[in-house]
Amino acid sequence: MIQTSLSDRCKEIILGSLLGDGSLNIQKPYKNARFSFRHSINQKDYFLWKVNEMREISSENCIWEQDNGRGKNKIRYQSLATESLTELYKLTHPHGKFEIRRKWLNLLTPLSLCVWWLDDGSLVSDCRQGVFCTDDFEYDQLMIVVRYFNKVWELNPRIGRVAKKGPRSEQYRLWIRSSEELKKFFRIIIPHIPVPSMIRKVLILYKDPQLQERWISEICQLLRIEIDKDTLYNYVEERKKRLAYYRE
């Protein structure tokens, strides 16, 4: 039976996903909104975790695979159309278009931030900096996000252009430029990482073995899911082999 209102947990995940890979839409001829998202097939365990969390708004046939013809298949989820999702749609799409507003950013929780990072965050610059792929967001809306992070989480992300020239010079991404700021953010979200495969997204790399050991140990202490420390070391070594900065 579908609930008349969304559970807090479901709402937290949806709000985080709207900043990442999720969307709310009202499709004709329906009067209520649906929530949908998709991921690549190699993120299937994360995808299925999300699907499981959406049980209260799901039908039996809510997932399917999409073939793009290039061997990079996607798996997609779409919810039922419900009044509870329409309420969330009105909050996040006040004029029929998705808008970042402080009014609903204040509803984000550490779980919401975790979903956003796992959806659209990446480690870059030899895995010592982080970036949110916010190419579709306008600069003024990203400034709202920056002020939100400053006030609520005491974090200081920066906005940077995607490119110096050309059409992408008008697109922007949200950067966490220092490894210390990145660790501060990761300490908020690591307890909410739902599946082992996504732990790779918080593995900051160090040349110094002692610093690497400390960060891996801290991750293990913060996680609520089980993972062997040797597995994390294997992830680290795999990533370092692909980065010239860490090769001898």
Residue-level pLDDT at 70: 66
What does the pLDDT average to over 45-67? Answer: 94
Residue-level pLDDT at 135: 94
| Structural domains present in the chain | 8-94 (3.10.28.10), 110-246 (3.10.28.10)
Kindly report, residue by residue over 65-101, the tens digit of the pLDDT: 987 666 678 999 999 999 999 999 999 999 999 999 9
Q: How far apart are CA 150 and CA 83, in angstroms?
A: 33
Top-confidence residue, 197 or 28: 197
Kindly report, residue by residue over 100-109, the tens digit of the pLDDT: 999 999 999 9
Top-confidence residue, 126 or 169: 126
What does the pLDDT average to over 149-159? Answer: 98
Quickly list DSSP for the chain. Answer: ---SS--HHHHHHHHHHHTTTEEEE--TT-SSBEEEEEEEGGGHHHHHHHHHHTGGG--TT-EEEE--SSS--EEEEE---BHHHHHHHHHH-TTSS----HHHHTT--HHHHHHHHHHHEEEETTTTEEEE--TTS-HHHHHHHHHHIIIII----EEEES-SSSGGGG-EEEEE-SHHHHHHHHHHHGGG--SGGGGGGG----SSHHHHHHHHHHHHHH-SS---HHHHHHHHHHHHHT-GGG--
**4: pLDDT strictly greater than 60:** no
pLDDT mean across residues, the chain? 94
What does the pLDDT average to over 20-29? Answer: 94
Residue-level pLDDT at 2: 43
Kindly report, residue by residue over 225-241, the tens digit of the pLDDT: 999 999 999 999 999 99
Task: Give pTM, 2 decimals.
Answer: 0.94
